[in-house]
Amino acid sequence: MASISELQERWNTLYKTTLPRLAKAKDEVQPHWPVVLDHCFGRIILDNAVGITQPWAKVIKSPAYKNMTIQQLEHAIILGESIAVGEANLDELNQRSLELREKNGPAAARKGQKRAHEDESTPTESKKSKTASLKSPENDEDSGRISSYFLLSPKSEKTKAEPKQTKAADSKQETTENCRPNRTNPITNETYLDAPPMDLIQNSSITSFRKQVLTLLCQVPRGQHTTYAALSDHISATSHKTCARAVGNAMRNNPFAPVVPCHRVLAHDGKIGGFGGHWGEEGKYAGKKKEMLREEGVRFDGSGKVVGSPFRGFK
């Protein structure tokens, strides 16, 4: 179990570095990024993971990382990592946070109506002053108004529109749909096209982070295994900061198993880890995972731990 100092470090890295970096790069894990600053990510995650029914500062004292309990830190980290891999929608979490602070939704509308009523009896010069203050970038989240970086940009709204397909694209889609899939996922029993693993990954609609993780999986040789930590260490050293939990989340419901071999990834202690959304020796698909590994030449000792060192030769 991680110590509170380790959790504090993970939390600070997550909201101060990892998420702002993804936001500035406009990573595809989120449809769009309504915020890019670290304190905004802190607000959104803490309101939803710690405050829950009220702003987080009404539950714990500032600075949050020093005053959160281990459980609160774990909840905040899990939510932040879910955002980082696209499993949690940042925009929805942001809207909820703003509603808790009465900066959006019905409460905000009532405040807006009240201000509009007051403005009717306000001199023109005063109205201009109020309008200018609303547009000022210096208005932060404590001012009672929504800062400009909380709002959707016109560009992000346009990206929601469905792109028009050309005749060539239509033809390509028809050809793909007419191909008979002839590979079966051993967990979901769903079928997919018999194609090279890299083509399956790159042509899919999964997030860029999941593509990165699944691509690395293809480097693990048959008859060998790796770990969630080994994958996260490589990604952190060569791309961006991440963790074993985020890697595990990215592999969950791998649509291209077993061609993309998520079954070759085990826990850091050599135990079976997760498979098909279940964890540990008692997991629903633990036996299937071990069977697949044994068929490839991987061996386990009497305590259920894998024999040999994990593969770390990622490129």
Assigned domain for 66 exists: yes
Q: How far apart are CA 242 and CA 233, in angstroms?
A: 8
Q: According to the model, what pLDDT value does residue 183 have? A: 83
Residue 289 pLDDT > 90: yes
| pLDDT above 90: residue 265 | yes
Write a three-state SS string for 148-176: HHHCCCHHHHHCCCCCCCCHHHHHHHHHH
Comparing CA positions, the residue from 266, 291, 293 lying closest to residue 280 is 266
Domain that holds residue 12: 4-101+150-155
Q: What is the pLDDT of residue 137?
A: 34
Does residue 167 fall inside a structural domain?
Answer: no
**What is the tally of structural domains in the chain?**
2
Q: Rounded mean pLDDT of the chain?
A: 78
Whether 218 sits among the annotated catalytic residues: the reply is no
**pLDDT for the residue numbered 19:** 93
| pTM (whole model) above 0.95 | no
Would you say residue 252 lies in a domain?
A: yes
- pLDDT (tens digit per residue) in 202-213: 998 888 888 999
Q: Is the pLDDT of residue 227 over 80?
A: yes
Strand runs labelled E in the chain: 183-184, 191-192, 226-227, 265-266, 274-275, 278-279
Within a domain: 139:
no
- Is residue 168, in this structure, part of any structural domain at all? no
37 found inside a domain? yes
| Same structural domain, 199 and 97 | no
pLDDT score at 189: 79
If asked whether residues 200 and 315 sit together in one domain, one would say yes
- pLDDT tier, 181 (very low <50, low <70, confident <90, very high otherwise): low
Residue-wise pLDDT tens digits, 78-117 = 999 989 988 889 999 999 999 988 876 554 555 444 444 4
Say which of 40, 218, 243, 262 is annotated catalytic.
262
Domain containing residue 307: CATH number: 1.10.10.10
What whole-number percentage of the chain has pLDDT above 90? 47
In order of 231, 259, 267, the CA distances from 239 in angstroms are 11, 24, 22
For residue 136, the cross-strand partners are none
Q: Kindly state whether residue 160 falls inside one of the protein's structural domains.
A: no
86 assigned to some structural domain: yes
pLDDT of residue 124: 41
What is the pLDDT at residue 106? 52
